[in-house]
Structure 1
């Protein structure tokens, strides 16, 4: 009887392990697919006295995106980029002006504003960051 019980327990354990590995394999496949999927966003920045704009332009790794930069941008500024996988969309306009500055940034995906921020002040570092639509 002990032998039969031991065999049954081992069979259940092996079956559970196989199911667990299958579930893990499916999860890994989904992550791989999400990492390779691309999406497009448009960054828009308006305001006055903006010194530079930094943004995720699509290069680098998902958790370490390459930051691109534009100095003394002509406003309003607009840029469409293709991002990959779980990489967040981000645009960071920066202004330093003793008279004050105004900054508004937007991130648009498929015609819909998914993030918008505005700021005023002596030294402004306004920014917009949005989660990847692929991730969620």
Structure 2
């Protein structure tokens, strides 16, 4: 039934600032945008990572149930090659620590951390040996 990560959506009160912040983080501009009913941008979408997963930024005025009081929900973890460097960069870009770098099973190579971006969304990053195994299998021979 579940085939894999397709799109993750994040909400932002200041959509233009969120677009610029994520463009700097990802090193690319959004490839797709949709205006809201008033003509102002309502949605931006980026392609990111080895499999060009979709990261959607949505104006918070369209958030189901209204504005969130605090970060919450599921945490999407992105594999990074250097966890310490990734966390340091995110913090330098104005994110705040949500969960410090935590080893997940002694000697397994799995470790996670999360931050809250300047727009109130939780962003997870991790070292994930399984991701690297799958990536190696998908690499052209």
Q: TM-score range by the shorter chain?
A: under 0.3
**Bigger strand share:** 1
Higher RCO structure, 1 or 2 (CA under 8 Å, sep 6+): 1
Q: TM-score, normalization: structure 1?
A: 0.26
